[in-house]
A and B are shown apart, each in its own frame.
Chain A
């Protein structure tokens, strides 16, 4: 009962987060807020993937190979979370680090050059000054 409730709550929170972050990326004018929305989106996806490998039992043991005798493999299979989704999320975080730091650099550089982090405003002033798009 409690498990079901928690699961449903988590899924609905994830869905709301997903929609909010897509809204943020597409419609917010500030580049920094777009970056924040992007990180929210990727974190939402990470939590969703972690959910895929979750196990609802007690006690939960870490998925580490040890001595495989005396039915320990069976115990591990029923009491350990699946480590593969965690590996996927780890890869996703590392890649996200690269992308996010690149975007953050771009935002800082844009601010230095144009004095604003509102992309549309910056483009408008630049076009008025006669820059080529």
Chain B
């Protein structure tokens, strides 16, 4: 039984990639938009179902699931390690990508749809690969798969010079980041002789002095890459250009899911690879690097919140809110504590759901008003009731209003940061308060403002159904978790527990599946 489930876990990232390669055949046979995109949606449904099975299995056993690709013995071959954190994030990713695909069915109506579908499937493969992989070099490959498809999707409107130039900016910075990560992999292999995550962490405990230095260099290079991928403060400059330039479903994908890759990468490095952070010789160097990332996160939060308030373009405003929220996520993941990881997991769930819904509902308004200017969209929320409700729910979630899930996420993060350092907790509250102003301004203009421009009627039934489902999901997550502390503990808490307190059993279990020399 366990072997079967592990094969499924390894299969999940490859199903969308395989489907992506078969899209041209489907297109040549059918030449119908609904058939091609429906096929992709079907594959994504299967992937979502499989990742749900994997998530349930990860919670029913108390050790991570280990899949060895091609039957090659670990640590020689590529392993996929699915712990509870990764299982939850993988389920979330596959669900949101499915929602985005269904939305695209009524949004992307031009003739380039086969390319769009291929790239979206490729992006899903990369995202799930980043989440599930337990091999550091495979993480690099999956980062590039995610990256290349994202660059191409940002450049999707290839007749618009602005989106081309924004995509190029993103591509240059993203490739710079992955090259740095590749350098880190070279260092890992030359100093530790392994590329497997768990094997690396096992060898890292008994580091010599030179190896500790190399370890610090690896962590610095890797967190540099992840800060670029997540768009955190000094490396955020590509994000507010690239996210608005893409088609709206892709903005939702980039802002909700692709930026998560950096957080997942940091989780793998800070919690699994540096599991011995309480003991010498690695504790000093890990805490030093995490201090840098936590400061970057705090600056990113304040900076993003301030810049949100001066934007007039609605998609740019939401993109700056991504900079702010990713700053918070970096703060949470750099705490290196149980509470920090717990807050990170809950915040990832909340932020991904709310940010995708926000972008998707904004897409309806933009299509109606044919403008992205905030003042042109005034009053659109009242005209399109479904999108208006989804917009209000996701904005209030991001602003942190109870009983929506954003409140609990911010509360957990505040507790974790308060334990780490009071100054950072206060900075986080200040940034949230500044962000709240911008969110409320946006909400007021869109929902209660007077209509100034002629709004066209849009017929996007499937998109609106998707929005209803996503809104229901947000409210459900908020209400269920806020009023059931036991459930929060058993889902979010136990996932964090597995990777912090019980990490020795985790490492030991994975280590036992390796071949013994």
| A residues in contact (CB < 8 Å) with B | 22, 25, 31, 34-35, 38, 41-42, 45, 48-49, 51-53, 84-85, 88, 91-92, 95-96, 98-99, 102-103, 106-107, 109-110, 113-114, 119, 122-123, 126, 131-133
Determine if A119 and B176 form an interchain contact, defined as CB atoms under 8 angstroms apart: no
Q: Would you call B455 an interface residue if the criterion is a C-beta within 8 Å of the partner chain's C-beta atoms?
A: no
Interchain CB contact (< 8 A) of B161 among A42, A84, A103, A122:
A122
Closest to B165 in A: A119
From 163 to 193 in chain B, residues with beta carbon under 8 angstroms from any chain A beta carbon are 164-165, 167-169, 171-173, 175-176, 178-180, 182-183, 185-187, 189-190
Chain A binding site: helix, strand, loop or mixed by DSSP?
Answer: helix
- Whether A52 lies near B182 (C-beta < 8 A) is no
Q: How far is the CB of A103 from chain B (nearest CB, A)?
A: 5
Inside 8 A of A98's CB, which chain B residues have their CB? 144, 148
Chain A nearest Cβ from B396, distance in angstroms: 27
Residue B241 at the chain A interface, CB threshold 8 Å? yes
A91 to B144, CA, bound (A): 11
**Contact, CB under 8 Å: A49 / B185:** yes
Complex CA gap A53/B155 in Å reads 38
Bound Cα distance from A87 to B155, whole angstroms:
31
Q: List 11 A-B contacts (CB under 8 A).
A: A22-B176, A38-B179, A48-B183, A48-B186, A85-B189, A85-B190, A95-B141, A95-B178, A96-B175, A103-B151, A122-B165
* 3 cross-chain pairs, A with B, having the tightest CB-CB distances, nearest first: A52-B190, A49-B186, A113-B161
Contact present for B171 and A99 (CB under 8 Å): yes
- Given A25-B172, A48-B186, A91-B141: A42 touches B179 (CB 8 Å cut-off): yes
Q: Is B172 a contact partner of A133 (Cβ separation < 8 A)? A: no
- For residue B148, give the distance in angstroms from its CB to the closest CB of chain A: 5
Closest to A123 in B: B165
A41, A109, A126, A132, most chain B CB atoms within 10 A:
A132
B26 contacts A by Cβ under 8 Å: no
Chain B: minimal CB distance from A55 (Å): 12
Query: Are A133 and B241 in contact (CB-based, < 8 A)?
Result: yes
Report B178-220 CB contacts with A as 1/0, cut-off 8 Å.
1110110111011000000000000000000000000000000
Contacts of A88 in B (CB 8 A): 137, 182, 185-186, 189
B99 to chain A, nearest CB (A): 26
Q: Please, which residues of chain B bring their CB within 8 A of the CB of A99?
A: 144, 147-148, 151, 171, 175
Chain A minimum-CB-distance residue to B144: A95
Q: Which residues of B contact A92 (CB under 8 A)?
A: 182
A residues in contact with B173, CB < 8 Å: 25
Q: A45-B183, A122-B161 are in contact. Are A25 and B167 (CB under 8 A)?
A: no
The residues of A that contact B159 with a CB separation of less than 8 Å are 113
How distant is the Cα of A38 from the Cα of B175 in the complex, in angstroms?
8
In the assembled complex, the Cα of A109 lies from the Cα of B183 at a distance in Å of: 31
Residue among A53, A106, A110, A114 with the highest chain B CB neighbour number at 10 A: A106
Q: Which of B144-159 contact A (CB under 8 A)?
A: 144, 147-148, 151-152, 155, 158-159
Complex CA–CA separation, A84 to B182 (angstroms): 14
Interface residues of B in 355-380 (CB under 8 A from A): 371-373
Separation of A57 and B212 alpha carbons in the complex (Å): 28
CB < 8 Å neighbour of A106 from B144, B171, B180: B171
Which residues of chain A are near B144, meaning CB under 8 Å? 95, 98-99
- Whether B190 lies near A34 (C-beta < 8 A) is no
Which residues on B sit within 8 Å (CB–CB) of A49? 182-183, 185-186, 189
Output the least CB separation between B152 and chain A (Å): 6
> Within 8 Å of chain A (Cβ to Cβ): is B382?
no
Given the known inter-chain contacts A42-B179, A88-B185, A106-B155, please indicate yes or no for A126 contacting B164, CB distance below 8 A: no
The answer to whether A119 and B148 touch across the interface, beta carbons within 8 angstroms, is no
A86 CB, nearest partner CB in chain B, Å: 11
Q: Is B313 engaged at the interface, CB distance under 8 Å to the other chain?
A: yes
In the complex, what residue of chain B is closest to A127 when comparing beta carbons? B162
Q: A25-B172, A99-B147, A133-B241 are in contact. Are A126 and B162 (CB under 8 A)?
A: yes
A131, B167: Cβ atoms closer than 8 Å: no
User: Which residues from chain A contact B371 at a C-beta distance below 8 Å?
Assistant: 132
**Contact of B316 with A by CB under 8 A:** yes
With A41-B176, A133-B244 given, name 6 new contacts (CB 8 A): A49-B183, A98-B144, A102-B171, A114-B161, A122-B161, A131-B162
- On whether the beta carbons of B161 and A110 are closer than 8 Å, the reply is yes
Tell whether, in the assembled complex, residue B186 and residue A45 are in contact, meaning their CB atoms are under 8 Å apart. yes
| Closest beta carbon of chain A to B60's beta carbon, Å | 36
Residues of B within 8 A of A52 (CB): 186-187, 189-190
CA distance A41 to B189 in the complex (A): 19
Kindly supply a per-residue 1/0 record for chain B positions 130-149, scoring 1 wherever the CB is within 8 Å of any chain A CB and 0 otherwise. Answer: 00000001000100100110
Q: A31 and B186 in contact (CB under 8 A), knowing A22-B176, A99-B144, A102-B152? A: no
